[in-house]
Amino acid sequence: MTTASIKETTNIGVSKPRVDVREKVTGAAIFTDDIQFGAGLLYARVKRSPYPHAIIKRIDTSKAKALPGVKVVVTGEDFPHRTGLYLKDRYIFARDRVRFVGEPVAGVAAISEEIAQKATDLIEVEYEVLPGVHDPVYGASPEAPLLHPDLGNYEVPNFIFPVPNTNISNHFKVRKGDVDAAWSQCAAIVEHTFRVPHVQHVPIEPHVAIAQVDGEGNITLWASSQSPFAQRNLIAKSLNMPESKIRVIAPLIGGGFGSKAGITMEAIPVAIAMKAKGHPVKFRLTREEEFFTNFVRQGLVAKIKVGCDKDGRLLAIQNEMYWDGGGYTDYGVNITRAGGYSGSGPFDCPNVKVDSMCVYTNHPVGGAYRGFGMSEVHTGIVQAMHMLSEKIGMDFAEFLKLNVVQEGDKILTGMTMHKTGIKECIDKVTQAVNWGIKEPPSAPNKRRGKGLAVMWKAPAMPPNAGSSALVKLNEDASVTVLIGGQEIGQGSFTAMAQIAAESLGVPFESVKVKGPIDTQYSPYEWQTVASRLTWSMGNAVRNAALDARKKIIDMVAEAWGEKPEDLDIKDGYVISYKTEESISLKDIVVYGIPKPDYSGWVGGPIVGSGNFMPTYVTGLDKETGQGERAVVHYTTGAQAVDLEVDLDTGQITILKAASAFDVGKAINPDLVKSQIEGGFVQGMSSAIFEEMKLVNGVMQNPSFVDYRIATTADIPKVIEAYIVEAPQDDGPWGARGVGEHPMVPTIACLANAIYDATGVRVSNPPLSAEKIYLALLDAGVVK
């Protein structure tokens, strides 16, 4: 332990806020913030830790408080309650120690961002620097420093299994069959360790939130959020106040990818606003802060061992995963759980052993990221299967079709697999890239290869995550749909409008889904995560529309003296199959229908309500991971690529990509194909370019200068998207989600293709030109 105390008075590694030209109105000294929130708007900045692990010895805020223009200064002493979605392990501001670089230590609100930043620079913090943990395998060992001594006392749900007196905040186990006994029966065995780095979501719009507390203590939060209802709940818990005192308004957001799920920076302006009642307080992350002070995708170390018989049939899978959860794992513990119950990949195997461990480290905090751990899991398990098929001398496509899970199989948790079209997905993508045909490269210095990968992913959520919806009809027969799920560019509002129109019997053009999401008025929705909205919220919207439809038909049946079963609604008209009469929905859905001779009225304003919550997900045994129903369902798919590797540079060029996913039923095929195409591009970006370079807990590349993401110039000229439809029994018309899945198999798919092209296995992303070239050099392929 380092015993010397260090006094720190600057925000090391965090850029100062810049004036946002988007907020200025050209030619006038007017800002949009002032227009909406008035001249009383305050701006927040945060004092952050420059150390990955240290005890806070002393905080002196006196100089900051004395600075003209400063209105509020707060520290962790002002907010003693912990918060967290699945594990309550963190404070809004650090209280006793800091556990990652960039952790909030104090907050300031002032009349401008510049003054607020200057005030944070004046805050003096004295630290006692402690040894850090920068590798999850080491972090899980008894030799590692203990980062959360109180882990055993943290509040968790009954499906998260922390290990007290260790750095393991969740240890999810699966034990199916007898893995140890199976190895001796295997004709071929592959063992390999895979490492997947941290990556950042990099949404176009950084995190921003504005909070205001009125004179009665009611809180309103405007936030760029995927989870307004979850945020309301978590903020209420952290401030020890009822949810009814908190209102969250979430307009359309400029990209999320999981980074705006749960709660991160949004609690900070709320906490500061509590001390500045009446003043709205705005807090916006700089791009540099966005990189490492908020959620990131967790790193993973996976030690995988797989074996099969002489015919290629899988006999054993062992997967030991160490998730780099960062300084706090309030969301990361559920990623670890999802990795555990999906840890075999989409393969049918009689003997499976999985240990999925979420490990505290002194790295940035891991949170939800598109795919929710599945890209990382499949990076290793699918490459290991490719290695195994080669070792047994079997074509990989045939190996996959022999071993992928099918309807009726008992998967690793004991759950019976539902209907799936994964074999059809394999066939579609292999046909698209001419699998099995060795095609020539475009130049002598290039090598050409093809890769293939499969995937599965279940919605990672609590067993009782619910959805609700309202369908309201207006005088002109237009329909207003109210929901609590967010539109983050995936087309959820469009899909919900389609579901409402089809269920109700009205033209799609007459249906409008209204935003922004507002917890005071919008129906409840758990979160916009887990690729679950089409399925879960779609069911709620369908039920609400059917409720409204029933009310309309019952009203007309009473007015006409007919049976409801003889009536229908088509294109905005109620029609009678018995009398062939019809009546427009206009006016009657609000004012009702007069009885004969106007002796009274039937009906009244039509509002349909609906909800949906799965009731069948069961608990899993803590020691074996076995249970009747681990998840609601799995979406499955396959991906193939045809690429070239330049031997002079290591650069890869993707000539063609093909993806196929079983979505149950495509509510909107164009949106589904867009998700498939966009998911491949994001998967390709994380596979080839992206990596948070962390050295002793400090990110070395927190800008777009050094952190590369894919651009339009990198996108393959040909991306083919295929839709497979094996209906889900409880989805609207059989639909399942597909938002995250298209990027899940991409890393493994590209790595397999690079191997096919060069004969050299580059197993760990990023699969950069430099890494590939050096691997070719080491293997003697190039000199």
* 618-676 pLDDT, tens digit each: 999 999 999 999 999 999 999 999 999 999 999 999 999 999 999 999 999 999 999 99
- Locate all alpha helices (DSSP H) within 505-572, ordered by sequence: 538-560
Beta strands in 87-167 (DSSP E): 97-98, 104-110, 124-129
- Whether the per-residue pLDDT at 30 is higher than 70: the answer is no
Cis peptide before 702 (omega within 30 of 0): no
Name the 3-class secondary structure at 145: coil
Give yes or no for a contact between 336 and 357, defined as CB atoms under 8 angstroms apart: yes
Q: Residues in the chain, how many? A: 783
Name the 3-class secondary structure at 718: coil
Task: Single out the residue of 65, 72, 63, 125 nearest to residue 95, CA to CA.
Answer: 125
pLDDT score recorded for residue 33? 67
Task: Single out the residue of 112, 108, 111 nearest to residue 75, CA to CA.
Answer: 108
The predicted-structure confidence for 282-337, as pLDDT tens digits, reads as follows 999 999 999 999 999 999 999 999 999 999 999 999 999 999 999 999 999 999 99
pLDDT score recorded for residue 36? 83
Lowest pLDDT segment from 16-20, 583-587, 595-599, 695-699? 16-20
In the chain, what's the furthest Cα-to-Cα distance?
Answer: 98
Give yes or no for a contact between 543 and 611, defined as CB atoms under 8 angstroms apart: yes
- Whether the per-residue pLDDT at 13 is higher than 50: the answer is no
The predicted-structure confidence for 163-189, as pLDDT tens digits, reads as follows 999 999 999 999 999 999 999 999 999
User: What DSSP letter does each residue of 161-195 carry, written as one string?
Assistant: ---TTSSEEEEEEEEES-HHHHGGG-SEEEEEEEE
Confidence of residue 27 (pLDDT cuts 50, 70, 90): very low
Average pLDDT of the residues of the chain = 95
Confidence of residue 17 (pLDDT cuts 50, 70, 90): very low
Beta bridge partners, 360, equal 326
Name the 3-class secondary structure at 598: helix
**Distance (Å, whole) CA 151 – CA 121:** 32
**Distance (Å, whole) CA 176 – CA 578:** 59
**Distance (Å, whole) CA 408 – CA 697:** 46
Mean pLDDT of 700-707: 97
Share of the chain above pLDDT 70, in %: 96
Beta strands in 377-516 (DSSP E): 446-457, 467-473, 479-483, 511-514
- Whether the per-residue pLDDT at 25 is higher than 50: the answer is no
Backbone angles phi, psi at 182, to 5 degrees: -75, -25
Mean pLDDT of 121-139: 98
Reported as type and span, the H/E element at residue 212 is: strand 208-213
Confidence of residue 34 (pLDDT cuts 50, 70, 90): low
**Distance (Å, whole) CA 163 – CA 230:** 26
- Whether the per-residue pLDDT at 1 is higher than 90: the answer is no
Mean pLDDT of 752-761: 98
pLDDT score recorded for residue 6? 52
Name the 3-class secondary structure at 574: strand
Reported as type and span, the H/E element at residue 269 is: helix 267-274
pLDDT score recorded for residue 62? 98
Task: Single out the residue of 640, 619, 624, 634 nearest to residue 722, CA to CA.
Answer: 640
DSSP collapsed to 3 states, 458-506: CCCCCCCCCEEEEEEECCCCCEEEEECCCCCCCCHHHHHHHHHHHHHCC
Mean pLDDT of 685-711: 98
pLDDT score recorded for residue 393? 98
pLDDT score recorded for residue 321? 99
User: What DSSP letter does each residue of 661-694 carry, written as one string?
Assistant: EE-SS-SSHHHHHHHHHHHHHHHHHHHHT----E
| Contact residues for 705 (Cβ-Cβ < 8 A; gap 6+) | none
Beta bridge partners, 548, equal none
pLDDT score recorded for residue 28? 31
- Whether the per-residue pLDDT at 3 is higher than 80: the answer is no
- Whether the per-residue pLDDT at 144 is higher than 90: the answer is yes
The predicted-structure confidence for 385-405, as pLDDT tens digits, reads as follows 999 999 999 999 999 999 999
Mean pLDDT of 442-470: 98
Task: Single out the residue of 540, 535, 519, 536 nearest to residue 610, CA to CA.
Answer: 540
Beta bridge partners, 608, equal 471
| Contact residues for 351 (Cβ-Cβ < 8 A; gap 6+) | 176, 177, 178, 179, 181, 182, 315, 316, 317
**Distance (Å, whole) CA 157 – CA 180:** 32
Give yes or no for a contact between 657 and 639, defined as CB atoms under 8 angstroms apart: yes
Task: Single out the residue of 469, 533, 467 nearest to residue 500, CA to CA.
Answer: 469
Task: Single out the residue of 302, 277, 2 nearest to residue 131, CA to CA.
Answer: 2
**Distance (Å, whole) CA 722 – CA 430:** 12
427 to each of 383, 408, 420, 749, 756, how far by Cα in Å? Answer: 19, 21, 14, 15, 19
Task: Single out the residue of 266, 280, 207, 278 nearest to residue 238, CA to CA.
Answer: 266
Block residue for tokens 């198999």? 745
The alpha carbons of the chain give a radius of gyration, in whole angstroms, of 28
- Whether the per-residue pLDDT at 23 is higher than 50: the answer is no
- Whether the per-residue pLDDT at 196 is higher than 70: the answer is yes
pLDDT score recorded for residue 597? 86
Task: Single out the residue of 306, 473, 496 nearest to residue 388, CA to CA.
Answer: 306
Number of alpha carbons in the 13 Å side-chain half-sphere of residue 103: 31
Cis peptide before 280 (omega within 30 of 0): no
The predicted-structure confidence for 400-440, as pLDDT tens digits, reads as follows 999 999 999 999 999 999 999 999 999 999 999 999 999 99
Q: In this structure, what token pair is assigned to residue 4?
A: 């010397």
Q: Which domains does the chain have, with CATH numbers?
A: 21-30+465-612 (3.30.365.10), 32-130+206-253+260-292 (3.90.1170.50), 299-412+419-461+619-778 (3.30.365.10)
Block residue for tokens 């922390």? 162
Give yes or no for a contact between 198 and 101, defined as CB atoms under 8 angstroms apart: no
- Whether the per-residue pLDDT at 278 is higher than 80: the answer is yes
**Distance (Å, whole) CA 344 – CA 355:** 11
Burial of 598 (0-12, 13-18, 19+ CB in 10 A): exposed
Task: Specify the DSSP class assigned to residue 534.
Answer: I
Confidence of residue 60 (pLDDT cuts 50, 70, 90): very high
